[in-house]
């Protein structure tokens, strides 16, 4: 069986910028091959060295010439072609013998890399894989600390070996540019930047990430000292608007009303996580604020749970001053929670954008624990008479009971509201059978979780508190012998 050929990118020079995969392949290879100039040592080999093993076969693929004249009958290109054929034959001999051959490339193997000459000659004959690497262009932008391209800008990559007029024309037409292969071409490249009117914005980066790196404005560079491992960079034009000390664009404030889900991180949506992560301020009822993962960059405003309107105005005030405010609610913020309060108050803050990020609501969490009691038509109501009169609550319970809807009852009780559960039960019993299934879910998903399946007749109000949600079945809701509760899709 023949061996495998790998063309691996080593990145720009820093051995830590070698990918984990390339490092592994170098360590496992039987043969390490690399190109080198006639008189130079191999930079690729020195980057790979920390990952090489004792006793590996090395194939030095030394260029017969660089820019010297040649007596080859087909000139410079003819001499190179012969060289590549000979290199490919040397590697093929190892591959035929079943050895794994790794060909090293600085940067990325398919980005001006010598490896591609081997690839073209061998990839159709042997199992071959190319492992990409960090290019010198990325490295140079990173060293400069300047954005390369943003939004719909165009990056042009140019070899410095092109004629001066071609370089100037391309530089004039692009937003950002990287000109590689400097060395002897340096003066021509610099003049092309000047001709294109871009010299003022151009940077010179030498041996990016290699240790002896150097960065300078292109116009200040002495042409005599320019090595091959250098490039000229025209960074994103947009960055010029802030590099140089101008203030970063003022951030626009907003209020995002975020649903945290009924409990814990598994029920926090990725969208909600993102909204929390970018916030500068977290506003909400104390125990809910405490559920947000701590970040010292953020300010936390913990409030009592009965001052919704005040809390909403506070959030809107903060946002008006440019803060990004996350108002947190448990469950879904639109279900008996902060979203309505914020939207109501926002009439006085027309300039402040408000968004709502949904969450899993408690009824869904409780229902899922016992099966599918909400499988058919159901209604959601709050038993609290703090924000609406009890007559309204009672009328709605009776109406829902008459309509044979399943009920998901939020806020069934609190320390001060203790009689409503019994009153609701008695109203329901006027229209429902005593054996109607009732689910009591307490702190579902949290550390105090308990879920009880009982019946309407046996519903004990003493077992219900503010951390509970009740689900009252309809005439078709069933409880299996295993205790699973579901309401069929079909209605008789």
Residue 141: CB minimum distance to ligand SAH, A: 46
| 8 Å CB contact between 460 and 429 | no
Residue 408: CB minimum distance to ligand SAH, A: 9
DSSP letter, residue 174: -
242 versus 419: smaller Cβ distance to ligand SAH = 419
250: helix, coil or strand?
coil
Residue 176: CB minimum distance to ligand SAH, A: 48
d(CA 403, CA 476): 12
Residue 382: CB minimum distance to ligand SAH, A: 7
Tokens of 94: 């190892």
11 versus 412: smaller Cβ distance to ligand SAH = 412
- SS3 for 61-77 is EECCCCCCCCCCCCHHH
416 versus 490: smaller Cβ distance to ligand SAH = 416
Tokens of 445: 């998903």
d(CA 344, CA 312): 9
Tokens of 413: 């009780």
Which residue blocks in 346-417 are alpha helix, DSSP H?
Answer: 362-370, 390-402
Residue 441: CB minimum distance to ligand SAH, A: 5
26 versus 439: smaller Cβ distance to ligand SAH = 439
Beta bridge partners of 283: 301, 327
179 versus 470: smaller Cβ distance to ligand SAH = 470
Residues of this chain that bind ligand SAH (CB under 6 A):
262-263, 329-332, 335-337, 361-362, 365-366, 410-411, 441-446, 466, 468-469
Tokens of 223: 């042409």
The CA-CA-CA angle for residues 476, 480, 485, to 5°, reads 60
Residue 281: CB minimum distance to ligand SAH, A: 20
182 versus 366: smaller Cβ distance to ligand SAH = 366
Residue 302: CB minimum distance to ligand SAH, A: 17
Residue 256: CB minimum distance to ligand SAH, A: 15
Which residue blocks in 97-163 are alpha helix, DSSP H?
Answer: 115-122, 136-144
262 versus 437: smaller Cβ distance to ligand SAH = 262
59 versus 465: smaller Cβ distance to ligand SAH = 465
Q: Which residues contact 170 (CB under 8 A, 6 or more apart)?
A: 156, 158, 162, 177
**Nearest-10 crossing angle of helices 390-402, 420-429:** 30
Using Cβ positions, the residue closest to ligand SAH within the complex turns out to be 331
97: helix, coil or strand?
coil
d(CA 131, CA 117): 16
Number of residues assigned to the chain: 492
Q: Which residues contact 96 (CB under 8 A, 6 or more apart)?
A: 2, 3
122 versus 365: smaller Cβ distance to ligand SAH = 365
2 versus 340: smaller Cβ distance to ligand SAH = 340
433: helix, coil or strand?
coil
Residue 335: CB minimum distance to ligand SAH, A: 4
90 versus 369: smaller Cβ distance to ligand SAH = 369
| Nearest partner of 100 among 2, 172, 209, 244, judged by Cα | 2
Residue 407: CB minimum distance to ligand SAH, A: 12
Map tokens 């108050």 to a residue: 345
d(CA 105, CA 59): 13
| Nearest partner of 261 among 250, 251, 276, 249, judged by Cα | 276
Residue 280: CB minimum distance to ligand SAH, A: 23
Q: Which residues contact 254 (CB under 8 A, 6 or more apart)?
A: 319, 324, 325, 352, 353, 354, 355
CA separation (Å) from 402 to 11, 69, 377, 424?
A: 72, 100, 13, 13
196 versus 471: smaller Cβ distance to ligand SAH = 471
DSSP letter, residue 10: -
Residue 398: CB minimum distance to ligand SAH, A: 21
């Amino acid at each position: 069986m023949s061996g495998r050929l790998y063309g691996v990118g080593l990145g720009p020079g820093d051995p830590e910028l070698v990918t984990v995969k390339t490092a592994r392949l170098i360590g496992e290879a039987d043969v390490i091959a690399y190109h080198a100039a006639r008189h130079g040592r191999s930079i690729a080999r020195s980057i790979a060295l920390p990952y090489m093993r004792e006793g590996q076969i090395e194939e030095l693929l030394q260029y017969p010439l660089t820019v010297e004249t040649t007596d080859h009958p087909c000139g410079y290109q003819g001499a190179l072609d012969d060289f590549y054929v000979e290199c490919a034959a040397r590697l093929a001999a190892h591959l035929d013998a079943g050895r794994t051959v790794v060909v090293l490339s600085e940067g990325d193997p398919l980005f001006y890399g010598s490896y591609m000459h081997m690839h073209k000659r061998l990839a159709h004959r042997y199992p071959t894989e190319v492992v990409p690497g960090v290019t010198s262009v990325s490295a140079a932008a990173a060293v400069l600390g300047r954005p390369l391209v943003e939004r719909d800008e165009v990056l042009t990559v140019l070899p410095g070996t092109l004629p001066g007029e071609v370089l100037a024309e391309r530089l004039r037409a692009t937003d950002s540019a990287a000109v590689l292969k400097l060395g002897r071409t340096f003066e021509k490249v610099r003049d092309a930047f000047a001709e294109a009117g871009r010299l003022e914005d151009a940077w010179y980066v030498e041996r990016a990430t290699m240790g002896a790196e150097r960065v300078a404005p292109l116009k200040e560079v002495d042409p005599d000292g320019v090595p091959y491992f250098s490039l000229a960079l025209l960074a994103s034009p947009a960055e010029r608007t802030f590099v140089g000390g101008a203030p970063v664009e003022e951030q626009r404030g907003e209020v995002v009303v975020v649903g945290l889900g009924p409990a814990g991180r598994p029920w926090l949506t990725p969208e909600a996580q993102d909204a929390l992560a970018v916030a500068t301020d977290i506003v909400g009822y104390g125990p809910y604020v405490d559920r947000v993962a701590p970040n010292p960059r953020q300010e936390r405003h913990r409030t009592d749970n009965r001052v919704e309107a005040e809390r909403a105005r506070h959030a809107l005030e903060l946002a008006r001053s440019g803060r990004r405010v996350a108002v947190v609610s448990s469950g879904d913020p639109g279900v008996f929670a902060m979203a309505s309060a914020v939207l109501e108050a926002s009439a006085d803050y027309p300039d402040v954008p408000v968004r709502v990020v949904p969450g899993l609501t408690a009824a869904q969490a409780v229902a899922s624990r016992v099966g599918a009691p909400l499988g058919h038509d159901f209604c959601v109501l709050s038993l609290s008479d703090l924000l609406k009169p009890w007559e309204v609550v009672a009328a709605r319970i009776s109406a829902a009971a008459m309509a044979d809807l399943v009920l998901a009852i939020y806020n069934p009780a609190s320390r001060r509201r203790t009689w409503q559960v019994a009153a609701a039960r008695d109203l329901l019993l006027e229209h429902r059978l005593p054996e109607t299934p009732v689910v009591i879910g307490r702190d579902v998903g949290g550390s105090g979780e308990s879920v009880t399946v009982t019946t309407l007749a046996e519903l004990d109000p003493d077992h219900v508190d503010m951390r509970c949600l009740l689900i009252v079945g309809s005439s078709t809701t069933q409880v299996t012998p295993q205790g699973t509760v579901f309401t069929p899709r079909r209605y008789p």
